[in-house]
């Protein structure tokens, strides 16, 4: 069954009457075939239209190899073969697809003019669209040149025309690419700019497409993938980008255009500050270790240092433990309390033969948790925060008995 495609000659047509040729139940839905339709079926990188047939929602539109267009509805109540019905295409979705698709024609020809890059494929996505172009070393200049050219064609509001031609006539036209179909060929002309064989929905004038913007580009499968947005999508993306840039600028108290520089400065400052903090932490650990050792008791021939800190980082405790045990013989039993978690770091000088791992696992049991390590340095913790002092006392008695 052949379906007459009303969008072939008029992409602005959104309402039509048609006769029902067939209704086929398929799984949980129905495939409706009409003698004519304004609904675009998925194909050529462009998704299908949506809309209604006599008020019934059309959820998918596809095309068979024989050229029959299938309208998929969940419910075919009221439809009957031989009857006529009224079709309505969703205008917002049609306009959106028309803008992206027509914009693609112009962008593809613009890349050809700007850097000789042919378009190999097109994908119209739900958020953005992409073309894969034959460009080896893509650069910002290529993107800007193609974007400039494309938008000039839009601003000039050139007519876009549909030609239905045979193969001989097509051969005389300056087509950008060869036609994939035989027999009658549909050619889309952008006046004095581009001629492409295509079956999609198109604007009548380039001004309908609106702004064409290139969002990003990357190398992909030996081609260059260009992500672009046209019309309403470009407007929404501008709003989002502007809002993001303004909120960053406001946080940094700079103008929008200065925000990237201000963030770069902040990142650099963060790096130098982190470096300085590491240096200062080393110095602090040495000074603190000297003070703790000076006031520590001597037990069984070594200095015994015990200390409980408020919310001290484990790495800092380990650093302090190293400074405590690296000189004269010493044992360090260090703890830290933070909300919901107590942590312990036990360490001893090389000359002392006591297993810190064993001592620590007993102390962690008091905290309701676990820990372990090597004979000379161990760490662990547990949730019983108010038992930290007890846990260290138990460890001290284990050392001195």
Give burial (CB, 10 Å; 0-12/13-18/19+) of 342.
Answer: buried
Count the Cβ atoms, other than its own, within 10 Å of residue 135. Answer: 21
Which of residues 95 and 387 has its CB atom nearest to Zn ion in the complex?
95
Residue 200 found at the interface with Zn ion (CB under 5 A): yes
- Give the sign of the dihedral formed by CA 77, CA 81, CA 86, CA 92: positive
**Smallest separation (angstroms) from Zn ion to the CB of 119:** 11
* Residue whose structure tokens are 């990237």: 260
Closest distance of CB 104 from Zn ion, Å: 7
- CB atoms closer than 10 angstroms to residue 8: 16
To the nearest whole angstrom, how small is the minimum distance from the Cβ of residue 54 to Zn ion?
30
Q: CB-wise, 200 or 231, nearer to Zn ion?
A: 200
Binding segment toward Zn ion, per CB under 5 A, in 191-199, 319-327, 364-372, 381-389: 191-199
SS3 content of the chain, % helix, strand, coil (to 5): 40, 35, 30
Closer Cβ to Zn ion, 3 or 119, answer by number: 119
* Segment (H or E) for 110: helix 91-115
Q: What does DSSP assign to residue 41?
A: P
HSE (CB half, 13 Å, CA atoms) of 231? 21
CB of 101 to Zn ion, least distance (A): 5
Q: How far is the CB of 102 from Zn ion (least distance, A)?
A: 7
Alpha-carbon separation of residue 61 from 25, 64, 331 (angstroms):
15, 10, 78
Q: Exposed, middle or buried: residue 237 (CB in 10 Å: 0-12, 13-18, 19+)?
A: middle
Rule CB under 5 A: is residue 106 a binding residue for Zn ion? no
Interface with Zn ion, residue 198, by CB under 5 A: yes
Between 199 and 380, CB nearer to Zn ion: 199
Q: If you search the block for the tokens 């770069």, which residue do you land on?
A: 264
Residues in contact with Zn ion, total (CB under 5 A)? Answer: 2
* Nearest CB to Zn ion, comparing residues 54 and 191: 191
Binding mask 143-182 for Zn ion (x = CB under 5 A): ----------------------------------------
Only segment of 5-13, 193-201, 261-269, 362-370 that touches Zn ion (CB under 5 A): 193-201
Q: How far is the CB of 199 from Zn ion (least distance, A)?
A: 7
Query: In which element (H, E) is residue 29 found?
Result: strand 29-34
Listed residue (176, 228, 221, 172) closest to 45, CA to CA: 228
Task: Report the Cα 214 to chain-centroid distance in Å.
Answer: 16
Question: Of 7 and 346, which CB lies nearer to Zn ion in the complex structure?
Answer: 7
**Gap between the Cα atoms of 203 and 238, Å rounded:** 22
The 70-89 contact track toward Zn ion, x by CB under 5 A, reads --------------------
Kindly state the smallest distance separating residue 187's Cβ from Zn ion, in Å: 10
Task: Select 122 or 217, whichever has its Cβ closest to Zn ion.
Answer: 122
Fill in the per-residue mask, 310 to 349: x = in contact with Zn ion (CB under 5 A), - = not in contact: ----------------------------------------
Instruction: Provide the minimum distance between the beta carbon of 133 and Zn ion in the complex, in angstroms, as a whole number.
Output: 16
Position closest to Zn ion via CB: 198
Q: Contact 111/117 with Cβ under 8 angstroms? A: yes
- Summarize as ranges the residues that interact with Zn ion (CB under 5 A): 198, 200
């Amino acid at each position: 069954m052949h379906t007459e495609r009303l969008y072939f000659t008029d992409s602005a047509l959104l309402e039509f009457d048609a006769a029902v040729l067939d209704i086929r139940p398929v799984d949980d839905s129905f495939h409706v075939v009409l003698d004519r339709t304004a609904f675009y079926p998925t194909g050529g990188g462009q998704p299908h239209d949506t809309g209604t047939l006599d008020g019934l929602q059309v959820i998918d539109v596809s095309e068979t190899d024989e050229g029959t267009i299938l309208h998929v509805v969940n419910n075919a109540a009221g439809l009957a073969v031989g009857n006529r019905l009224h079709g309505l295409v969703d205008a917002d979705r049609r306009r959106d697809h028309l803008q992206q698709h027509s914009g693609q024609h112009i962008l593809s020809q613009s890349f050809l003019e700007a850097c000789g890059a042919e378009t190999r494929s097109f994908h119209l996505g739900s958020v953005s669209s992409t073309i894969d172009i034959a460009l080896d070393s893509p650069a910002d200049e290529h993107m800007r040149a193609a974007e400039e050219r494309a938008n000039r064609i839009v601003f000039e509001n050139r007519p876009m025309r549909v030609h239905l031609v045979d193969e001989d006539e097509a051969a005389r036209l300056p087509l950008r690419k060869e036609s994939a179909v035989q027999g009658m060929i549909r050619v889309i002309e952008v006046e004095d700019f581009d001629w492409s064989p295509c079956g999609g929905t198109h604007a009548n004038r380039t001004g309908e497409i609106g702004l064409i913007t290139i969002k990003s580009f990357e190398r992909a499968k030996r081609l260059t993938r260009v992500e672009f947005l046209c019309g309403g999508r470009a407007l929404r993306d501008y709003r989002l980008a502007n809002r993001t840039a303004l909120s960053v600028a406001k946080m940094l108290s700079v103008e929008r255009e200065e925000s990237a520089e201000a963030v770069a400065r902040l990142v650099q400052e963060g790096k130098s500050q982190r470096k300085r903090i590491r240096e200062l932490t080393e110095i602090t650990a040495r000074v603190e270790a000297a003070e703790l050792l000076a006031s520590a008791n001597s037990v069984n021939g070594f200095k015994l240092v015990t200390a409980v800190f408020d919310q001290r980082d484990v790495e800092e405790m380990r650093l302090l433990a190293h400074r405590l045990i690296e000189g004269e013989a010493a044992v360090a039993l260090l703890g830290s309390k933070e909300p919901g978690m107590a942590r312990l770091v036990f360490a001893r000088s090389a000359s002392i033969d006591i297993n810190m791992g064993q001592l620590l696992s007993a102390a962690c049991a008091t905290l309701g948790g676990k820990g372990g390590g090597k004979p000379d340095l161990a760490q662990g913790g547990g949730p019983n925060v108010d038992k930290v002092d007890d846990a260290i006392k138990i460890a001290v008695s284990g050392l001195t008995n």
